[in-house]
Chain A
């Protein structure tokens, strides 16, 4: 029997043992994520709170959420923070990746330093950044004052609060973006740069004509993942400002949490939850479509 036959045979026989092997993973994901999310969809069409039987109310929860100024405030804040975080992170990540690619001394040590924030929990990061920007003794506050800049009044001014949240979020997640871009940069063959050098290309031309186009797919992937994950932002905001002062720094996940667990409005919270899910899917729709086609082309 040739190995081709063997392969074909294992392909035919395969379905059953393969399904057993993916069983545990699928079971976990279906029972803990997929079924609950469907339940949230159902819940969003019902009026319910703790210990009460749900009553079908149609789209009323959505109407209520969409006419709540606090929802729109949270939406605006989320979009603001996501836009700042993802794009600044991408620029910084690209900068650091190119810095590393151009050759740095003690590379392993420097790499460890750049990756270090990946190990830090959200709560510890909040403790660090809050102390750094403490209005009285914060190191960063004093630096700003020394430079003649205004201090970040993050506990009083909602915009400043969001900026601090964005800053700490960038700090926590830069390692991710950096690693994706750095790996992609290392995958670009050196010959290309050498050939361009022979042709007399300047450093900027090399960046513009080689680095940037070849990094584009990795940048898009990093950006997509960061959009989706930044969109769920909860802990940093909850721990830093708790959504205050006066609900001015809430983001969507905090809004959802408060609706459900403080105001006992499970219907509204579920509607918010579904809007979050739909927004995430909307962000990823092109990516999903491409993957779907690729997978079925390779597997059918």
Chain B
């Protein structure tokens, strides 16, 4: 094929990839600044008079949504801290120690990833009711963290395998305790891995729907659940307000993913190739 043709073909492919990835996102972000008559215009209007009315209505009528954002933030931060700390500890153990028990428990962690989350809601639902843990932040934090510690541990082990053992041994000879070696040598050097694990958990906990739907009702209700209620209003979905809510829920995590893309790629690669 002559060069210009290949170049053109490539440009078309790049354009298609951009349209596919970005148009759905841009559409709701842009539409959140549209008045109803522009939202329901056919063909769609690219030029329109922007308005903040949807955001005002959201603020005035859907206080629940902002409560949901706060809940989502609390749960996301809690789950991330819990998952990162426990995964880092376990990842260190799997990276530095060998024993049949450990090998079996590492295998168990991979095995556990195969269990579909919806299955465990059956016994957990009555159990958390008895323990009066339903609709609490702590339950959601532990649930979300639990579903990511397997992957988190594998990712941390991969990153920690890259830290030379000689460093541990040198610190050991200098009289450092296990805990000191962890705190002063290993954790600082595996910060990249921790960020990679954090990216996974943050995106998951911020967006998760199934567990929030089953285990939260008012107190710990998360933002995605509130949006689904706005969307599920049988008659008269207020599309503009829905777009505004989706935009507010999406933008922080979208910006975060773009900023952390290097770590996301590193984490996905480490997690997938090593188990």
B98 CB to nearest A CB, Å: 5
Interchain residue pairs with CB less than 8 A apart (23): A15-B97, A15-B102, A18-B102, A22-B94, A33-B115, A104-B14, A121-B207, A121-B250, A123-B224, A123-B231, A132-B27, A171-B24, A176-B268, A179-B265, A183-B268, A239-B228, A253-B118, A260-B125, A288-B110, A292-B107, A296-B100, A296-B103, A299-B99
Q: What is the 8 Å Cβ interface bit string for chain A, positions 126-146, against chain B (1 contact, 0 not)?
A: 111101100011010010000
Flag if B268 contacts A179 (CB, 8 Å).
yes
Asked if A43 is an interface residue, CB under 8 A from chain B, the answer is yes
Residues of A contacting B: mostly: helix
Asked if B174 is an interface residue, CB under 8 A from chain A, the answer is no
Asked if A166 is an interface residue, CB under 8 A from chain B, the answer is no
Asked if B143 is an interface residue, CB under 8 A from chain A, the answer is yes
Flag if B249 contacts A121 (CB, 8 Å).
yes
Residues of B contacting A: mostly: helix
A34–B22 CA distance with the chains assembled, in angstroms: 39
CB within 8 A of B110: which of A25, A111, A291? A291
Chain B neighbourhood of A257, CB < 8 A: 118
Flag if B120 contacts A40 (CB, 8 Å).
yes
Q: What is the 8 Å Cβ interface bit string for chain B, positions 75-110, against chain A (1 contact, 0 not)?
A: 000000000011101101110111111110111111
A231–B250 CA distance with the chains assembled, in angstroms: 25
Known A-B contacts: A119-B203, A136-B40. Give 6 more (CB < 8 A): A22-B93, A118-B203, A124-B28, A129-B24, A139-B27, A270-B122
Instruction: Report the interface size for chain A: residues with CB under 8 A from the other chain.
Output: 100
Chain B neighbourhood of A131, CB < 8 A: 27-28, 31, 239
Flag if A36 contacts B120 (CB, 8 Å).
yes
Flag if B98 contacts A234 (CB, 8 Å).
no
Flag if A39 contacts B123 (CB, 8 Å).
yes
A75 CB to nearest B CB, Å: 14
Flag if A284 contacts B27 (CB, 8 Å).
no
Chain B neighbourhood of A176, CB < 8 A: 268
Q: How many inter-chain contacts with C-beta < 8 Å in the A-B complex?
A: 298
A145 CB to nearest B CB, Å: 10
A280–B113 CA distance with the chains assembled, in angstroms: 10
CB within 8 A of B100: which of A29, A180, A256, A300? A300
Which residues of A line the B interface, CB within 8 A? Answer: 3, 6-7, 10-11, 14-15, 17-19, 21-22, 24-26, 28-29, 32-34, 36-37, 39-40, 43, 50, 95-96, 99, 102, 104-105, 108, 110-129, 131-132, 136-137, 139, 142, 171, 174, 176, 179-180, 182-183, 218, 221-222, 225, 228, 231-232, 234-235, 238-239, 253, 256-257, 260-261, 266, 269-270, 273-274, 276-277, 280-281, 284, 288, 291-292, 295-296, 298-300
B205 CB to nearest A CB, Å: 11
Residue of B with least CB distance to A254:
B118
Flag if B99 contacts A15 (CB, 8 Å).
yes
Flag if A139 contacts B122 (CB, 8 Å).
no
Flag if A25 contacts B89 (CB, 8 Å).
yes
A37–B111 CA distance with the chains assembled, in angstroms: 12
A121–B246 CA distance with the chains assembled, in angstroms: 9
Chain B neighbourhood of A221, CB < 8 A: 272-273
Chain A neighbourhood of B27, CB < 8 A: 128, 131-132, 139
Chain A neighbourhood of B143, CB < 8 A: 32
Flag if B209 contacts A25 (CB, 8 Å).
no
Chain A neighbourhood of B106, CB < 8 A: 295, 299
Flag if B86 contacts A299 (CB, 8 Å).
no
A24 CB to nearest B CB, Å: 4
Flag if B98 contacts A276 (CB, 8 Å).
no
